[in-house]
């Protein structure tokens, strides 16, 4: 008899564990829900990869009760219309460049200042710190919940007319830019003709020569197949774009605390995966584009510094429109990031 005791104990432990797990699941207030997650990039893009991973984590953490249905490639509309849908509660989730939120909270335009970040580590330090949190805290009063920051990356110029190796090469190019005032002002100051368009309209505009080029990370150039209609690329790296993962406040208020926790935890778990995927794809995209026949020009550091100096008045103009205390805190955090990197 004594020899059978360990087996009985093991069986008892298994039954007890199952009972406790069932009790925990029952204690959680989780309902059957399906959330619509709309975004303008393709499912194969690093943002789409992040959305897919987020969806998988949410379903797993909720025991299959909460599902996130993806609507990529702008099928539910461009950024502005989808954000409005979140505010109205007809779509639950999206991802947006911070500048697209600047019409609601002007402080978000800080992250679209030219040459703000030198590298991804600086961006991570600021976004994941108090400045990033303070900006997310401004969203609920605008009908949105900011879950975390994903990443789009450094933007580069492509066009169908000529190589861009110096500032003067931008003169006269008609470039699609984001529908953000600071970007329009920046390219106008560089002598280009900025043409703001929603992302779903860009391929057709490039194909029909309505615009000469556009500016985006090489990962998007690859995913959107702009290499089919764009001959030249230049790694200007003029702006680094984070991406805000957004949820509808109207729908958020209908969720239980347990359901909200699942969404927040899934967002935080997905963030490092999405950022790593984005950096990996961007690192490889240049070689892919070359293989497709694009001519990629190395934009010299000295020319990048010329752009920075030329755009200083644009930066000053937009900084003056923002809370000076928050701006000072941002640059203070940047100083800490750079000091930490130097040690």
| Distance from the Cα of residue 158 to its chain's centroid | 20
Say if 233 falls within a structural domain.
yes
Say if 115 falls within a structural domain.
yes
Place of tokens 């497709």: 292
Q: Can you tell me the distance from the alpha carbon of 275 to that of 148, in angstroms, rounded to the nearest whole number?
A: 12
Q: Check whether 1 has a pLDDT greater than 50.
A: no
Q: Can you tell me the distance from the alpha carbon of 233 to that of 226, in angstroms, rounded to the nearest whole number?
A: 10
Say if 101 falls within a structural domain.
yes
Q: Which residues of 155-189 are buried (b: 16+ CB within 10 A; e: fewer)?
A: bbbbbbebebeebebbeebbbbbbbbbbbbbbbeb
Say if 5 falls within a structural domain.
no
What pLDDT does 132 receive?
97
Q: Check whether 4 has a pLDDT greater than 60.
A: no
Model confidence band, residue 340 (pLDDT cutoffs 50, 70, 90):
low
Q: Could you say which DSSP state residue 139 is in?
A: S
Q: Check whether 22 has a pLDDT greater than 90.
A: no
**pLDDT for 195-236, tens place per residue?**
999 989 999 999 999 999 999 999 999 999 999 999 999 999
Mean pLDDT for 19-41 is 76
Model confidence band, residue 339 (pLDDT cutoffs 50, 70, 90):
confident
Backbone angles phi, psi at 323, to 5 degrees: -50, 115
**Burial class (CB within 10 angstroms; exposed 0-12, middle 13-18, buried 19+) of 234:** buried
Per DSSP (E only), the strands in 41-191 are 66-71, 93-96, 144-154, 156-159, 174-177
**Burial class (CB within 10 angstroms; exposed 0-12, middle 13-18, buried 19+) of 254:** exposed
| Helix or strand (DSSP H, E) at 185 | helix 181-189
**pLDDT for 90-147, tens place per residue?**
999 999 999 899 989 999 999 999 999 999 999 999 999 999 999 999 999 999 999 9
Mean pLDDT for 269-275 is 98
Mean confidence (pLDDT) of the chain: 91
Domain that holds residue 337: 31-342
**pLDDT for 154-164, tens place per residue?**
999 999 999 99
**pLDDT for 301-322, tens place per residue?**
999 999 999 999 999 999 998 9
Q: Can you tell me the distance from the alpha carbon of 58 to that of 67, in angstroms, rounded to the nearest whole number?
A: 7
Query: Does residue 162 or residue 9 have the better pLDDT?
Result: 162
Say if 206 falls within a structural domain.
yes
Per DSSP, the residues of 52-85 read HHHHHHHHHHTTTSEEEEEE-TTTT--HHHHHHH
Q: Check whether 25 has a pLDDT greater than 90.
A: no
Q: Check whether 175 has a pLDDT greater than 80.
A: yes
User: Which domain CATH number covers 161?
Assistant: 3.40.190.170
Indicate the number of domains in the chain: 1
In sequence order, which residues have a C-beta less than 8 Å from that of residue 149 and are 6 or more positions away? 127, 128, 132, 242, 243, 244, 245, 271
Report the SS3 class of residue 96.
Answer: strand
Mean pLDDT for 243-249 is 98
Report which of 184, 180, 179, 187 is spatially closest to residue 157, judged by C-alpha positions: 187
Say if 25 falls within a structural domain.
no
Residues present in the chain in total: 343
Beta strands 144-154 and 156-159: pairing type? unpaired
Q: Check whether 9 has a pLDDT greater than 80.
A: no
Model confidence band, residue 30 (pLDDT cutoffs 50, 70, 90):
very high
Q: Over pLDDT 90: what percentage of the chain?
A: 86
Q: Can you tell me the distance from the alpha carbon of 195 to that of 57, in angstroms, rounded to the nearest whole number?
A: 39
Report which of 98, 318, 285 is spatially closest to residue 189, judged by C-alpha positions: 318
Say if 2 falls within a structural domain.
no
What pLDDT does 8 receive?
55
Q: pTM for the whole thing? A: 0.86
CB atoms within 10 A of CB 236: 23
Say if 127 falls within a structural domain.
yes
Mean pLDDT for 45-53 is 96
Model confidence band, residue 299 (pLDDT cutoffs 50, 70, 90):
very high
């Amino acid at each position: 008899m004594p020899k059978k005791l360990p087996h009985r104990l093991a069986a008892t432990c298994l039954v007890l564990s199952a009972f406790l797990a069932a009790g925990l699941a029952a204690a959680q207030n989780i309902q059957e829900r399906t959330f619509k997650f709309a975004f303008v990039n393709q499912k194969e893009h690093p943002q789409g990869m992040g959305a897919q991973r987020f969806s998988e984590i949410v379903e797993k953490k909720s025991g299959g009760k909460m599902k996130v249905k993806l609507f990529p490639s702008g099928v539910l509309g461009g950024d502005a219309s989808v954000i409005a849908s979140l505010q109205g509660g007809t779509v639950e989730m999206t991802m947006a460049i911070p500048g697209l939120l600047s019409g609601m909270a002007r402080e978000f335009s800080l992250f679209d200042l030219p040459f703000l970040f030198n590298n991804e580590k600086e961006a991570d330090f600021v976004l994941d710190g108090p400045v990033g949190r303070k900006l997310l805290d401004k969203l609920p009063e605008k009908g949105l919940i900011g879950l975390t920051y994903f990443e789009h990356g450094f933007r580069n110029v492509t066009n169908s007319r000529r190589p861009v190796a110096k500032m003067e090469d931008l003169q006269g190019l008609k470039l699609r830019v984001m529908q953000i005032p600071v970007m329009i002002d920046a390219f106008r100051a560089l002598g280009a003709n900025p043409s703001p368009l929603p992302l779903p309209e860009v391929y057709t505009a490039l194909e029909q020569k309505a615009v000469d080029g556009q500016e985006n990370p090489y990962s998007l150039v690859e995913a959107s197949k702009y290499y089919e209609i764009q001959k030249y690329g230049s790694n200007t790296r003029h702006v680094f774009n984070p991406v805000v993962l957004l949820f509808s406040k109207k729908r958020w208020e209908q969720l239980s605390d347990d359901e909200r926790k699942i969404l927040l935890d899934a967002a935080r778990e997905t963030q490092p995966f999405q950022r790593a995927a984005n950096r990996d794809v961007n690192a490889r995209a240049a070689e892919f584009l070359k293989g497709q026949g694009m001519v990629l020009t190395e934009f010299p550091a000295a020319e990048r510094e010329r752009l920075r100096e030329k755009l200083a008045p644009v930066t000053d103009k937009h900084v003056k429109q923002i809370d000076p205390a928050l701006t000072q805190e941002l640059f203070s955090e940047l100083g800490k990031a750079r000091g930490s990197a130097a040690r």
